[in-house]
């Protein structure tokens, strides 16, 4: 008394994956890896930008303070006001100017400027990745 709907098939075939499923899975994995890499770049960029911008006023202040205390500006102004004497005694003036350069402040300020330039170059070079990251996250939330 079994009806046709209640018959159990004797040979059950495993389901065949649709065409291109493997390629879609691989593509999705690669895309997720790319977004993780982009996320890492974004947070590195953002961290370096914050550090560089936060340190900029301090490094500039240190540099200017050391220049005013070292007498560097006095040597430079004497150089321009007494050009004849500077030409005659250029070696002594040059050495005096080099000795009065505030090395520590100059190094700190230079490192900060180089870091800021590096961050801006990183942003300009990787901007398409950063925009992709923003678009990916924007799509997630909507």
96-116 residue pLDDT tens: 888 888 888 899 999 999 988
Question: What's the confidence (pLDDT) of residue 108?
Answer: 92
Question: What's the confidence (pLDDT) of residue 65?
Answer: 92
Residue 14 is assigned to a structural domain of this protein = no
Residue 20 is assigned to a structural domain of this protein = no
Question: What's the confidence (pLDDT) of residue 111?
Answer: 92
What percent of the chain is helix, strand and coil (3-state, nearest 5)?
A: 85, 0, 15
Domain that holds residue 123: 25-141
Residue 137 is assigned to a structural domain of this protein = yes
Residue 47 is assigned to a structural domain of this protein = yes
Residue 53 is assigned to a structural domain of this protein = yes
For residue 137, the tally of other CB atoms under 10 A from its CB is: 13
Write out the two tokens for 70: 């070292």
Question: What's the confidence (pLDDT) of residue 120?
Answer: 80
Question: What's the confidence (pLDDT) of residue 112?
Answer: 92
The ranges of the chain with pLDDT < 50 are none
75-87 residue pLDDT tens: 888 888 888 888 8
In angstroms, the Cα distances linking 59 to 52, 100, 109, 111 are 10, 18, 5, 9
Residue 12 is assigned to a structural domain of this protein = no
Residue 131 is assigned to a structural domain of this protein = yes
Residue 38 is assigned to a structural domain of this protein = yes
Question: What's the confidence (pLDDT) of residue 57?
Answer: 92
Domains contained in the chain, number: 1
CB burial of residue 102 (10 Å; 0-12, 13-18, 19+): buried
């Amino acid at each position: 008394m079994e009806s046709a709907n209640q018959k159990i098939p004797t040979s059950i075939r495993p389901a065949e994956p649709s065409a291109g499923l493997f390629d879609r899975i691989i593509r999705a994995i690669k895309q997720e890896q790319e977004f993780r890499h982009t996320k890492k770049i974004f947070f590195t960029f953002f961290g370096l930008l914050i550090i560089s911008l936060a340190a900029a006023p301090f490094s500039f202040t240190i540099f200017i303070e050391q220049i005013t205390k070292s007498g560097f500006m006095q040597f430079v102004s004497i150089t321009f006001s007494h050009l004849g004497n500077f030409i005659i005694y250029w070696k002594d003036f040059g050495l005096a100017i080099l000795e009065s350069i505030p090395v520590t402040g100059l190094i700190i300020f230079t490192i900060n400027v180089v870091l800021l330039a590096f961050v801006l170059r990183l942003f300009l070079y990787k901007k398409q990745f950063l925009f992709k990251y923003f678009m990916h996250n924007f799509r997630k939330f909507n």
